[in-house]
Chain A
Amino acid sequence: MATMLQFPSSVSTLNDYNALYPDWTQREVSTGTTIMAVEFDGGVVMGADSRTTTGAYIANRVTDKLTPIHERIFCCRSGSAADTQAIADAVTYQLGFHSIELDEAPLVQTAASLFRDMCYRYREELMAGIIVAGWDRRRGGQVYTVPVGGMMTRQPVSVGGSGSSYIYGFVDSNYKPAMSKEECLKFTAEALTLAMERDGSSGGVVRLAVISEQGVERQVILGNQLPKFSTV
């Protein structure tokens, strides 16, 4: 079948155990997810769904996967919830320290490099796909993707998580360079909605964040306010 990001159970089980207890009691908590970030002139728009699953059980249906790393740098997390939280905490600490030493706001590329160093060094133990995005004075809005395995690359638009497979076609066809902030917000919300409709591990609400020179604006789009695509 197609390339699906399946996160294997980290605990081996006996057959009898499965008959007595539901599957999700032995499954690792994963943010099987859809995350996305888009650059525009003057900043970035980041978006994520809000579902965290342990197997078939939704452990948290209002998760916030957009995590602040610094004042104008955020990251979107996908993969194992524990791994990504731990990495994000470590990078937040390192970046804070670095910014005090420098006595100015850190670069988005620096944050992305710190994520990449950790994700690559511990690649055998970790299961984390992260998109780092933000605004800095030197290069404006930037999006860097650090997928599973620990590579890092800058892209104008990046999608990640298990739900991202379903929207590659939509993103490829609808992305245009030099979109405005409002167009980027609409594009991100539509793409996330389409992925959430098709991916069982993504769902809930759409969380959006816009990062620019002025700061960070956060929005939530609730289930009934999502754009409608049904053809029935």
Chain B
Amino acid sequence: MSEELFPEPEWLSEEVKTGTTIIAVTFDGGVVLGSDSRVSAGEAVVNRVMNKLSPLHDKIYCALSGSAADAQTIAEIVNYQLDVHSIEVEDDPLVCSAATLVKNISYKYKEELSAHLIVAGWDKKKGGQVYATLSGLLTSQPFAIGGSGSFYINGFVDAEYRKNMTKRECQEFVVNALTLAMGRDGSSGGVAYVVTIDKDGAEEKCVLGNELPKFFDQ
């Protein structure tokens, strides 16, 4: 009888997902990564301030989306593997190496995992680079978007992205894209985390809800 009166909420048994919006953009001299901060289990928001931009090395970050557990685990494993690799070569690792390590795990376990990581960073060989590793593919792109919220901003990023933007313009572009996606996707929201990586290192910034740009709202 008591089960009928107080049925267990669905979200207790739903997998925790970072239904999310993530974006990474290159500029001349580095990259800018951005993400929202909402982690949902079904309809419940279990964490509203999660930072989905995870460091893989000093100047290489990855953006997490999909299943929270899968994405975090991949990031931790690759973090470890990159540390070992950089000791062996006695130099900072290349962004391409980090992306390849992520791709290897994503591809080998693609049936079991459901996470999409965007790897971005700066290295002295090729400067700022962004790699998408969806389902085990590996591709270098001028910019990449991912997560459930990214569907709504496909048109926006296609229209607004220009080559050779400055660092400032890239940061604005990332914040605008995240704001628009968070406005339309129920699984994205909270604050916007932005990380800028260039030859001098990585700079993390958090843009709070009331500081986000305002667009026309009818």
Chain A residues within 8 Å of chain B by Cβ, number? 28
A133 CB → nearest B CB, Å = 15
- Encoded as 1 (CB less than 8 Å from any B CB) or 0, chain A from 1 to 37 comes to 1111000000000000000000000000000000000
Contacts of A167 in B (CB 8 A): 154-156
Which stretch from B32-40, B123-131, B145-153 is at the chain A interface?
B145-153
Q: A169 with B163: in contact, given A155-B218, A175-B216 (CB under 8 Å)?
A: no
Judge whether A85 is part of the interface by a CB distance below 8 angstroms.
no
Question: Which of B148, B161, B177 contacts A169, CB < 8 Å?
Answer: B177
Give Cα A171–Cα B160 distance, bound, in whole angstroms.
Answer: 12
Cα A167 to Cα B156 with chains together (Å): 7
B residues in contact with A1, CB < 8 Å: 148
Contact present for A170 and B159 (CB under 8 Å)? yes
Residues of A within 8 A of B184 (CB): 168-169, 172
The residue in chain A whose Cβ has the minimal distance to the Cβ of B183 is A172
Which residue of chain B is the closest to A166 with respect to CB atoms? B154
* A173 & B158 in contact (Cβ 8 Å cutoff): no
Contacting B at CB under 8 A, from A146-203, are 155-157, 165-177, 190-191, 194-195, 197-198
Question: Does B205 have its Cβ within 8 Å of any Cβ on chain A?
Answer: no
Our count of residue pairs bridging A and B at CB distance below 8 angstroms stands at: 76
Tell me whether A169 and B156 are in contact in the complex, defined as CB-CB below 8 angstroms, given that A2-B148, A231-B162, A231-B163 are known contacts.
Answer: yes
> Is the CB–CB distance between B215 and A172 below 8 Å?
yes
Q: Which of A3, A155, A156, A194 contacts B158 (CB 8 A)?
A: A194
Least CB distance from B216 to A in Å reads 5
Q: B180 at interface (Cβ–Cβ under 8 A)?
A: yes
Contact A194 B152 (CB under 8 A): no
Give CA–CA (A177, B2) in the complex, Å: 54
Given A155, A169, A174, which contacts B181 in the complex, CB threshold below 8 Å? A169
Nearest-neighbor residue (CB-CB) of A197 within chain B: B158
Instruction: Judge whether B18 is part of the interface by a CB distance below 8 angstroms.
Output: no
Q: Are B154 and A194 in contact (CB under 8 A)?
A: yes
Q: Beta-carbon contacts of B157-175 to A below 8 Å, as 1s and 0s?
A: 1111111000000000000
- The 8 Å CB contact of B159, one of A4, A172, A177, A229, is A229
A170 and B163 in contact, given A156-B218, A165-B151, A175-B216 (Cβ under 8 angstroms): no
Chain A residues in 8 Å Cβ range of B149: 2
- Given contact pairs A156-B218, A176-B216, A231 touches B148 in the complex (Cβ within 8 A): no
Cα–Cα distance between A3 and B149 once the two chains are bound (Å): 10
Q: Determine whether the beta carbon of A169 is less than 8 Å from that of B153.
A: yes
Question: Which residues does chain B contribute within 8 Å of A2, judged by CB atoms?
Answer: 148-152, 185
- Chain B residue numbers with a CB within 8 Å of A191 are 155
A3: nearest residue on chain B (CB-CB)?
A: B151
CB distance from B110 to the nearest CB of A (A): 16
Instruction: Knowing A197-B158, A198-B155, A229-B158, say if A168 contacts B148 (CB, 8 Å).
Output: no
Assuming A169-B177, A169-B180, A172-B180, is B155 touching A177 (CB within 8 A)?
Answer: no
How far in angstroms is the closest Cβ of chain B from A163?
Answer: 9
A168 to B185, CA, bound (A): 10
Question: Which chain B residues lie closer than 8 Å to A177 at the CB level?
Answer: 216
Cα A196 to Cα B148 with chains together (Å): 19
State whether A231 and B142 are in contact (beta carbons under 8 Å apart), knowing that A169-B177, A172-B183 are contacts in the complex: yes
CA distance A128 to B154 in the complex (A): 24
- Of B183, B217, B218, the most chain A CB neighbours within 10 A belong to B218
B159 touches A190 (CB 8 A): yes
A231-B162, A231-B163 known; A168 vs B180 contact (CB < 8 Å): yes
Measured between alpha carbons, how far is A60 from B89 in the docked complex, in Å?
58
A-B contact pairs, 6 of them (CB 8 A): A168-B152, A170-B155, A172-B184, A172-B216, A175-B216, A197-B158
Known: A2-B151, A175-B216, A190-B159. 5 other contacts (CB 8 A): A2-B150, A156-B218, A169-B181, A172-B217, A176-B216
Which B residues contact A (CB, under 8 angstroms)? 142, 148-163, 176-177, 180-181, 183-185, 215-218
